[in-house]
């Protein structure tokens, strides 16, 4: 039968193959061959689970009599109204409601801390999709967590530009500093798109850098306290490094304050942005 393996009794003889060859000393006693360290395979006996496979649960036969999980029943799946409203708002934005699966999973993750089976079931219930479909999406993307993680996401960029500037040491230092703290989700992340401030760290979406090794204890303390991390090293405060950016092109881009023939009142009621881009005060004590 395809997809199904016969369940075998554990075979004690199997381990014997993995034991190195036995040599006999002149007095007849068994002497183990000297172990040589293989740099690529330091542990030559492969760890296995009780059923003999390297994959957990490999031999747990699929229950073929059971139907695949269906779209959860709204009557038996309680969903937080706030989460439901958020997912429904995302679904309304697209011509095809399935497009909202990433935003919906991200919302469920914010509510539950990770994409737990419960979170996925709730998202699937609101979106009218099977949980299996959403699991396939959640397992593809790096930012959707399919294992429980700490609530403070600290992504350290360890890609090439940052590692040329010492990101690997920084990663190790941050790991040491947060070792054993279950609140931290410290991850080595692929290029975060801020190589100008290498080595950099994304603390819950806030980019900071360049982060010196000495900054790490302060950074970790600030994350724990919930205050903005390294205020004078945040990316949003950084000015363009292009010397040409300071030169405005005469006649084409009016500088601030220049009257413009079309610069009348704005039609409609436009809410302002959350905050304007600001520059750091000359001296920031952080």
State yes or no: residue 273 binds another protein (CB under 8 A). yes
Nearest to residue 218, comparing CAs of 157, 265, 182, 177?
Answer: 177
Q: Does 172 bind another protein (CB under 8 A)?
A: no
Among the residue ranges 9-17, 61-69, 169-177, 218-226, the one whose residues contact another protein (CB under 8 A): 9-17
Task: Report the residue number, 15 or 217, with the smaller CB distance to another protein.
Answer: 15
Beta strands at 22-24 and 30-32: parallel, antiparallel or unpaired: antiparallel
d(C-alpha 109, C-alpha 145), whole Å: 8
Total of chain residues touching another protein, rule CB under 8 A: 91
Task: Judge contact between 24 and 83, C-beta under 8 A.
Answer: no
The yes or no reply on residue 25 touching another protein (CB under 8 A) is no
d(CA 7, CA 52): 11
Least distance to another protein from the beta carbon of 154, Å?
13
Rounded least distance, CB 225 to another protein, Å? 20
Which 113-152 residues touch another protein, going by CB under 8 A? 136-137, 140-144
- Given the rule CB under 8 A, which of 31-39, 175-183, 211-219, 220-228 is the region that contacts another protein? 31-39
Nearest-angstrom CA–CA distance, 91 and 99? 7
* Cβ-Cβ contacts under 8 Å for 65 (sequence gap 6 or more): none
CB of 220 to another protein, least distance (A): 20
Instruction: Give yes or no for residue 262 binding another protein (CB under 8 A).
Output: yes
Helix H or strand E encompassing 138: helix 131-138
The 3-state DSSP class for residue 185 equals strand
Binding to another protein (CB under 8 A): which residues in 178-237? Answer: 189-198, 202, 204-207, 235-236
Nearer to another protein, 65 or 240 (CB): 240
Residue 285 sits in the site that holds another protein (CB under 8 A): no
Spell out where 133-245 has E strands: 152-157, 184-189, 201-203, 206-208
Residue number, 217 or 262, with CB nearest to another protein: 262
CB of 180 to another protein, least distance (A): 26
CB under 8 Å to 48, separation ≥6 — which residues? 54
Interactions with another protein, residue window 39-78 (CB under 8 A): 39-41, 44, 46, 52
């Amino acid at each position: 039968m395809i997809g199904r393996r016969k369940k075998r009794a554990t075979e004690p003889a199997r381990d014997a193959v993995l034991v190195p060859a036995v040599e006999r000393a002149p007095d007849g006693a068994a002497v183990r061959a000297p172990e040589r360290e293989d740099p690529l395979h330091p542990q030559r006996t492969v760890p296995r689970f009780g059923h003999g496979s390297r994959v957990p649960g490999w031999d747990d036969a699929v229950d073929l009599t059971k139907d695949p999980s269906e779209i959860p029943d709204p009557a038996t799946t309680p969903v937080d109204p706030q989460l439901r409203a958020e997912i429904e708002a995302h679904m309304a934005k697209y011509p095809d409601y399935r497009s909202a699966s990433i935003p919906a999973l991200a919302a469920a993750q914010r509510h539950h801390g990770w994409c737990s089976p419960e979170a996925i079931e709730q998202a699937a219930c609101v979106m009218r999709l099977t949980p299996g479909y959403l699991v396939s999406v959640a397992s593809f993307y790096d930012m959707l967590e399919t294992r429980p993680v700490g609530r403070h996401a600290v992504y350290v960029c360890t890609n090439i530009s940052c590692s040329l500037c010492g990101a690997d040491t920084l990663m190790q230092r941050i790991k040491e500093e947060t070792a054993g703290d279950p609140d931290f989700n410290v991850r080595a992340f692929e290029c975060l798109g801020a190589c100008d401030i290498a080595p950099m760290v994304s603390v819950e979406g806030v980019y900071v850098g360049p982060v010196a090794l000495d900054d790490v204890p302060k950074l970790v303390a600030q994350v724990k306290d919930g205050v903005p991390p390294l205020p004078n090293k945040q990316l949003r405060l950084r000015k363009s490094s292009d010397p040409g950016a300071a030169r405005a092109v005469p006649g084409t881009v009016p500088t601030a304050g220049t009257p413009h023939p079309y610069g009348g009142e704005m039609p409609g009621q436009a809410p302002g942005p959350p905050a304007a881009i600001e520059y750091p005060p000359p001296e920031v004590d952080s």
